[in-house]
Structure 1
Amino acid sequence: MSPINSTNVSRIFSKLDKNGDGLVSLDELKGFLGTIGINSSQEELELLVGKTSLDSIDFFFFYDAITKANIKESNKYDDHCENILVENDLTKVFRVFDTNGDGFICCEELQRALSRLGLWDEQCGKDCKSMINVYDKNSDGKLDFEEFNDMMFAH
C-alpha cells in the first residue's frame, strides 16, 4: 500500500461512511480491509482501534499507522534481499581464495590470493598463519566459509 495524500484519505473515509453519520464503524472498516486483502476479526479490530467507530481524524491516524507498518515490513524484506546479495558476493570472493575448491582456505591459498592482489610480502607470509588462527574457530588451521565470513566482517 503506498501513501496517499490527506484529500484521498478523506475521500476513502467518506465512501466508507455509508450512513453519513461522520463515523466509520468497525463493520465498515472490516469490509474495507477485506477488499484490500487484510482479513481480521471484529475482536482484532476492536483491540487494534480501541473504539467501536472512527471519526475522520481517527481514521486518518489509523491509515497512517497501517501505512507505516507496511513500509517497515517492506524494509525488512529489502534488508533480507540485501543480505542474500552480500552473501552471494561473499561466496564468490571465498571461491577466489579457495583455489583448490575443497571448501576451505589454507595458509598457502591465502598467501597466493594476497600475492595476486599485490598485498603479499615476506612479512605477510609470516602473518598468514596468524591471520587464519585468529578466525579459525575449530583450530583446524584453515578457514571454512563461516570463519571467512567472520574475518571479512570483523572490525
Structure 2
Amino acid sequence: MAASKTKKQVRKSQFKLTSEQEADLRKVFDIFSKGGEESGYGTISAEDIKIAFRALGYEPKQEEIRQLISGVDKDGKGLLDFNDYLAIMTKKMTQKDDVEDLQKAFELLDRDRDGKINSGDLQSVAAELGYFTGTMAEDLQEMIDFADKDGDGVVSEREFLKFLKKTTFE
C-alpha cells in the first residue's frame, strides 16, 4: 500500500529538519517547558504552543493549533513532550514550505506583476516555453475561469493558493 501514497504524504515523509533547525526548536521548547528542564524531559503546555510558534515566525490560528495538538496529544492533558512538539513544528514547517513554493509559482505566472493571473499571463508563459498556439487561448481562459471564484475574470493569489492546495495537496 506504500505505492499508493499521495504526493503530499510522500513530500512530508521526505521532509527532514537540519540539526540547526532542531537545535532552534529545542531552545524554544526549553524556554517554555515545565519540569525536567535539567534532564531534557520537560513538557510544554498547549497554551504556550502559540507563543512558541510566534517565536519561530509563524502566526497560526487557534483552530489550526488545536488540530495540530490533537494529532499528538493522545491523553488529552494538553501537555506535550519534546517529541510531540517536534512533530507539530515539523508539520507546520512543511506547510509553510508548501505555501512559499505556491507563492513563488504565482509570482512566476503573474507576468505583469499586478497581483493577479489572467489569460494573457498564461499565454505569455506558454509562449515563452514554446507551447502556445493560437488555439490554446480559449483553453487558457477556461483555466482562469475555473480557478476564478469571485468572477472578476482573473485569479488572485488567494484564489490561486486555495485552488492548488485543494487540488494538489488534499
Report the TM-score when normalising by structure 2.
0.49
- Aligned partner of 1:120 in structure 2 is 132
Give the greater-gyration-radius structure (CA). 1
- Tell me which amino acid in the other structure corresponds to 2:127: S
> Which of residues 134, 139, 143 is equivalent to 1:131?
143
- Aligned partner of 1:106 in structure 2 is 118
Q: Distance in 2 between matches of 1:39 and 1:139?
A: 46
Count of equivalent residues: 99
**More helix per residue: 1 or 2?**
1
* Structure 1, unaligned runs of 5 or more: 1-30, 41-64
Q: Distance in 1 between matches of 2:91 and 2:144?
A: 30
Q: Distance in 2 between matches of 1:97 and 1:137?
A: 18
Superposition CA RMSD, Å: 2.9
Q: Distance in 2 between matches of 1:124 and 1:81?
A: 38
Q: 1:109 to 1:72 in 2, by over 3 A?
A: same
Q: Distance in 1 between matches of 2:155 and 2:93?
A: 26
Contact in 1 for aligned 2:122/2:140 (Cα 8 Å): yes
- Tell me which amino acid in the other structure corresponds to 2:160: F
- Tell me which amino acid in the other structure corresponds to 2:125: A
- Is residue 150 of structure 1 aligned with residue 162 of structure 2? yes
- CA displacement, residues 26-70 of structure 1 (integer Å, 9 cap, x when unaligned): xxxxx9636455489xxxxxxxxxxxxxxxxxxxxxxxx9xx953
> Which of residues 90, 97, 105 is equivalent to 1:93?
105
- Is residue 74 of structure 1 aligned with residue 75 of structure 2? no
Q: Distance in 2 between matches of 1:150 and 1:124?
A: 24
- Give % identity: 23
Q: Which has the higher contact order (CA 8 A, sep 6+)?
A: 2
Q: After TM superposition, where is structure 1 displaced by more than 4 Å over at least 4 residues in a row?
A: 34-40
Q: Distance in 1 between matches of 2:117 and 2:44?
A: 51
* Structure 2, unaligned runs of 5 or more: 1-33, 46-74
Q: Distance in 1 between matches of 2:131 and 2:164?
A: 16
Report the TM-score when normalising by structure 1.
0.53
- Tell me which amino acid in the other structure corresponds to 2:91: D
Contact in 2 for aligned 1:97/1:109 (Cα 8 Å): yes
